[in-house]
Structure formats: C-alpha cells, structure tokens
Amino acid sequence: MNIVFDFDGTIAKSTPYHRVAWTLLLKTMGLDYELDQLLPYEGSLKERFDSYRRIKAGFLYKDTRIKERVSSYFQIQDEDHLVRKIMDFKESLTVSGILKESLPDTLNNLGINLIPSLHYLKTHKAELGIISSTRETIISSFLYKCDALDLFDFIIGEESLTNSDGILLDKPDPYAKTILNNRKKAMDYYIGDNHTIDLEFANACGANFIYADYKADFLVLVEKIISQL
Amino acid sequence: MRNIKGHKVNIPSLVIEKCWGIYSQKYEGIENNLIDKIELPTKNSSINLHKTGAFQIPISQLNKLFKDPLATYLISDNTNRLVIKLKTKVVLRGIDYYVGMQAISNEEKSKIIFLRLFDMVEILDKVTPESDITLYLALLDYIRNYLLVILYAIHQCVRELGLTKELKKPYNALLELINLIEQAYLNSLLSGTKGNIRAHPEFIPWLLALEKYLEKSLLLVKGNKKLAVDMFRRIRECNNPAKIFQFAQSLSSVYLPRNSLLIGIEYGGIELPFAVNAFRKMIGKSTLDVITINLSSYSIGSNKYVDTIEDAISPFVSIKELKDYDTVVIMDDSVTTGRTIEYLVNLLPPNIKSVFLGVVSFTNTNRYHHLTRFGHGGVNPLVIQNGIALYKSNFTQTYSRESYTNKRGVFDKEKNQIIKMLKHVYSNLLI
C-alpha cells in the first residue's frame, strides 16, 4: 500500500510559516508593502503561497520601483535568476522560522493525530510519501521538528518537480509519476486538500484521491483506508 | 555582506541527510565561486610561500642574502629551530614557531616564546633598507604568531583565575603591539617592501609583565589538565599570509557602521579582526573595536559550550560594553556545521540588530558523514551566501559518521603537512 500526502494545508497548516517568511523578506529588502499587495490571496492556491508566476507578477511586474529594489538587493538583473534568488531567500527564512519556533507551536500546526496514524500505517507495511510543490527543505524541516521525518519513505517537492530545463512541472501535471517510477516508488492513494488540483493530479497519476486537510482526524481517515483493504 | 540574524545558521543533520541532493548542490554552487589559487598580493616575485603557509627562500639564494642581524638570526641560527632547511629551500617556520607542538612543559614553552619574542623585537629595530624582504616578513610572521599565542594563553588564564587590575595595561599594550605588527605585516605583503616600524623597546616592559603573569598563572592552573593542554595551541588554523590578506581586504571593502564590533572566534579566527582593522587603516578607514570569543569552557574542565556571552567574550571586556554596539561581524577560519556561529548568535544581546559573517574557508560537499552525524548538521547555505567565504577549506573527504578524518586519519590537509614536515625534521622534539 502506497500512500502519498500533499503537504501545505493537508498534513501541515503551513500558511503562517510562508506568511511570516514573506513578510520578513519584504522588511529585509526595505519594501514598504503589505504581503497581500504583492501576493494577493488566490482561492485556488488555498494554503500554498509560493508560485513563480505570482512572485514575478508581484515583485517584478507590479511596480518598477519594487523590481529595482529587489534587483539591487541581489545585484541581479535576469528575471528568472532573480525569482530563484527571492525564493531561496524566502526558503531560508521559512526553514529558520520552523526550526526556531517552539515545539508546541509547531505541533499545533500538524494535522490532527497525524503521527500516530503514520505509525499505524507503517505497522500495515505502508510506504509513505509526500508530493508537494513546496521545497523539500521546508517540508523536511517541518517534519524534522515534529519528529516525523523518518516516517516518510520519500519526499518529492519543488526541487524534484523541476525538470532539467529548470521548468517546474507542478501539480496537476503528472510529471511526479515519472519521478516516482524513476525512484521505483508507487502511489495508490493521494491525500490532499484541494478538490480541483489534487483530484486532477491523482487521476492523472492513476491513484485514488482522498480529501483531507490538517483539521481532519487522520486516525479516522487511516482507519477507513485500512478497512477498505 | 548581508545580515544573517533572521536566518537559522545550522540546519539539523537529519534534514541535511534527507535533502542531501539539494544541499550538496547549494554547497557546490558556493564552492564553485571560491578562490582556487592562493596568491600573495605583492608583485615582488622574490617573496614565496611554502605549501604550509610559511615564507621560504631557495637554497640557491642563501649566499646572496645581505648579511645583517636579521639574516644571521634566522638563517645562521645554529639550533636550526627557527627555520627548516630542506634540499632546495629554507622554510621560515621552524619548531620554535610551533612551540605548542614541543614535548616540553608549559613553563618551558612560555620561556621559549618570550625569549624569542624579545630577541625578535630587538632584531626588528636593526632591520635596514638592505635587509631581505622575505626574512623581514618571516620575522613579522614569527612576532605576530607569538603575540597571538600569548593573547590566547592570557585569555585562558584570566578566564580561569579572574582579572587583576595590574594586567590591564600590559594587556592593552599587547593589543597595541599586535595591531602595529599586523599593519606592518599586511603593508609589506602588499607593497613587497619593508616598512619602517620602530619604537618597540617601549613594549618590552609590558611584555615582561605579561611573562611574569603567565609564569605565575601557569603554576596556579596546573591542576586543570584540560586547560594546561590547551594553553599554548599547537597549530593555528588559517595561518596562510595570502589567505589572511585576501580576507582582510575583502572584509575591509564592506561598509560597516561605526558602532560595529569585530569578533574573532578563538583560536582559528583570533587574528582575523586585527588583520581587518590593519587593512581598514591601510585604506584610510577607521578601525573598529575588536573582541575575541571562546566557546569552550575550560574552567569547568570540559569542552562543553558556555551558557552566557560573558563566559565566552575575552575576559577584558564586560557585557556592559557590548551594549554600545548594534552590529557585529563574526569571523572564523572556516565553517562546516555552523553550530559555533549559531551558538554565538544566540548568545548575543538583543541590542545587536545586525550580524555579519566572514569566514576564510568553506567546503561541505566532501563532508557528508560529518554533516549527517547525529547532532551536527550543516551550515545554512544562505548564511554563507550572505557572508564572505573565500577559499576552499583544507578538510579531507569523510568516509564514516564515526570519524571526522579520511581513511588515512587526516582531517586537515594543511595541518597534516605541517606535522609531517616537523616530524621529519624534529622527530624527538614533538609531542
């Protein structure tokens, strides 16, 4: 049994980490803007914040002064390079935020009963993985903090979903299926919090889709999966 | 250089292990931009460095040397303890440069250091325009080496025994002398010519006072075995003049506000803040305040990290004085896991708003087992990118989590070369 989870909004309430990191990035760069002015809420993205398209729109195309500021901070002109630099910076701040946070606060952002349910799945010899567009370093840091990193057999994040041409083949693109095959891994169930993208992704990869978010009781969910076997 | 304060410096070992493909790529990206070739800044081609970082002179040049007290003292020294005469060259760092390596008591080490230091300060005053530039640089190299060894030993003793009022003046004189020698050293490295530093005799009484203090203190701390072993360090990491010059130059080119504090991490980074200040002075910038920090607590007889910044800062600085700064620049010889830097950052008082980092060397792609060892981890790549790192480190490739060394037991290639050379020449004198 191969069970794969989405990260943002599914096993973790991760928005606060992303928001704090983005806000700190704006402050560090001396950009006097509210985060929502640069990266406005998009319902379809739900808990997921980072997207190269949105960063380009907010940081590079919205106002030339913002672009100039960012460009001068990193001493880079090339737009793609600049966006990657922004993301690297934000990644470090997100990882730092997670690792510096108090443990009770981190655990508070973890899906309900996620860890016992993962242990439960492991006793049924399940292979567990994560496929998410968030960076693997961020996912790993969060799971490390919750002492859950070793429970996952693989994590496929933004870095793995980026092909050799540097193009991110995000969900619902089934590129992750190729990665899974290359790593000799499989996906029977995909558990995610997005009825549109995650469902389409599961279908494209030939997996069953199960809806769940971090507010769901994962023990109940896992019980259901096991009982169906 | 950018502020690293918001960033976690050390990434835990398990995260590094799980994301090694990503982190090794990030590390590789940094390493690809490091300086490959170690080159002296001077255009004077007669100044050469041995691979161990010592100045060297070809044997064929010995007869051509101007016979003055400097050449007589260093080259014609009958003890062969100041230089190493190899087949084709003379390496100008002998066993008395590495006093900590000698199989003698701390009292004897102290005697050698001060005896040599007094001799050398006297020789420095006898340098003439005809004197050989390489020998002059080697003399300055020796003097600064001894001064830094003394500085460290005094810090160790004062941390253990407490500060006495009488020590403050000689200690300040020691710092002044370090600054003076460092300026002369970097100036000569750049210009390839001898400077004109004089007025050293005035330092002699202060150095004598420090010798007396150490003599007394060594007896008092004899019971603390760890401290006794660590009193005179064997080899100072990052003691290559070309690297230190380049580091000082790079860091001096960065704008730093007036209320910045330069922090050198003992022992590998003890010289760096002095070198940066010397370079800043050379280019007409103001000098900044300097402290050195030691994150090992020997007073409790262990190598455990200290709990407060007061335990770590040089014992001549009070915590109150740290309140005067809002910016610090942390300097070390190298960074691998980033644990030391992170520990220090966490100890800094809240008034420190900006933390900058400068390290001489960095290489992590060959240290997988070291980084993934339990409790170790690796430095956050962004922290290195936000700071200054110049050269690849001398550390070997690891092969197991049980060891920091390679299969032949070597950790630091440069240190290993020094030890090999010393063993070859002075086998019966070493620890």
State chain B's mean pLDDT as an integer: 90
CB atoms within 10 A of CB B257: 10
Asked if B8 reaches chain A (Cβ–Cβ under 8 Å), the answer is yes
Q: Do B382 and A89 touch (CB under 8 A)?
A: yes
Q: Structure pTM?
A: 0.92
Please give the Cα distance from B82 to B77 (Å, whole number): 7
Mean pLDDT of B181-207: 85
Mutate: best of B1, B2, B22, B23, partner A, most A CBs <10 A: B22
Asked if B69 reaches chain A (Cβ–Cβ under 8 Å), the answer is no
Which residues, 6 or more positions from A145, have their beta carbon under 8 angstroms from its beta carbon? A98, A99, A101, A103, A106
Mutate: best of A29, A81, A128, A140, partner B, most B CBs <10 A: A140
Question: DSSP character for A190?
Answer: E
Give residue B269's pLDDT: 93
Question: Is 60 exceeded by the pLDDT of residue B305?
Answer: no
Q: Do A140 and B383 touch (CB under 8 A)?
A: no
B17: closest chain A residue by CA: A140
> To the nearest whole percent, how much of chain A has pLDDT over 70?
97
Give residue B46's pLDDT: 87
- CB-nearest to A144 from B3, B12, B21 is B12
8 A C-beta contact, residue A4 and residue A11:
no
* Residues on chain B touching A24 (C-beta within 8 angstroms): 6
* Residues on chain A touching B8 (C-beta within 8 angstroms): 92, 95-96, 99-100
The torsion angle over the Cα atoms of residues B44, B49, B54 and B56, rounded to 10 degrees, is: -70
* Token couple for A55: 């960063």
8 A C-beta contact, residue B22 and residue A136:
yes
8 A C-beta contact, residue A110 and residue A214:
yes
CB atoms within 10 A of CB A56: 17
ipTM attached to this prediction: 0.92
Give residue B397's pLDDT: 87
Please give the Cα distance from B136 to B377 (Å, whole number): 43
Tens of pLDDT along A10-53? 999 999 999 999 999 999 999 999 888 888 777 666 555 677 88
Of the candidates B227, B202, B217, the one whose C-alpha atom is nearest the C-alpha of residue B167 is B217
Q: Is A151 exposed, middle or buried (0-12, 13-18, 19+ CB in 10 A)?
A: middle
Please give the Cα distance from A225 to A220 (Å, whole number): 9
B381: closest chain A residue by CA: A92
Which residues, 6 or more positions from B105, have their beta carbon under 8 angstroms from its beta carbon? none
Please give the Cα distance from B291 to B313 (Å, whole number): 7
| DSSP collapsed to 3 states, A29-97 | CCCCCCHHHHCCCCHHHCCCCCCHHHHHHHHHHCCHHHHHHHHHHHCCCCHHHHHHHHHHHHHHHHHHH
The chain A residues in contact with chain B (CB within 8 A) are 24, 28, 88-89, 91-93, 95-96, 99-100, 135-137, 140-141, 144, 149-150, 155, 159
Reduce the DSSP state of residue B330 to 3 states and report it: strand
Give residue B302's pLDDT: 47
Please give the Cα distance from B170 to B155 (Å, whole number): 13
Q: Please state, in angstroms and as integers, the Cα–Cα distance from residue A191 to each residue in A224, B253, B329, following that order.
A: 13, 53, 47
Question: Is 50 exceeded by the pLDDT of residue B301?
Answer: no
Asked if B254 reaches chain A (Cβ–Cβ under 8 Å), the answer is no
Give residue A211's pLDDT: 95
Q: Which of A55-64, A152-161, B275-284, B357-366 has the lowest mean pLDDT?
A: A55-64
Tens of pLDDT along B317-336? 877 788 889 999 999 999 99
Tens of pLDDT along B48-64? 999 999 999 999 998 88
Mean pLDDT of B261-287: 95
| DSSP collapsed to 3 states, B182-241 | HHHHHHHHHHCCCCCCCCCHHHHHHHHHHHHHHHHHHHHCCCCHHHHHHCCCCCCCCCCH
**How far apart are the CA of B7 and the nearest CA of chain A, in angstroms?**
5
Question: Is 70 exceeded by the pLDDT of residue B94?
Answer: yes
Of the candidates B259, B289, B146, the one whose C-alpha atom is nearest the C-alpha of residue B210 is B146
* Token couple for A95: 């990882």
Asked if B369 reaches chain A (Cβ–Cβ under 8 Å), the answer is no
Q: Which of B133-147, B153-167, B323-337 has the lowest mean pLDDT?
A: B153-167
Mean pLDDT of B263-288: 95
Q: Do B8 and A89 touch (CB under 8 A)?
A: no
Reduce the DSSP state of residue A192 to 3 states and report it: strand
Q: Do A99 and B14 touch (CB under 8 A)?
A: no
* Token couple for B355: 């933390």
8 A C-beta contact, residue A176 and residue A7:
no
Of the candidates A169, A173, A161, A181, the one whose C-alpha atom is nearest the C-alpha of residue A204 is A173
Please give the Cα distance from B109 to A158 (Å, whole number): 58
Mutate: best of B15, B343, B374, B376, partner A, most A CBs <10 A: B15
Question: DSSP character for B314?
Answer: -
Question: Is 60 exceeded by the pLDDT of residue A177?
Answer: yes
8 A C-beta contact, residue B120 and residue B140:
no
Token pair 């041409």 is found at A165
Reduce the DSSP state of residue A168 to 3 states and report it: strand
How sure is the predictor about B300, in pLDDT bands with cuts at 50, 70 and 90?
very low
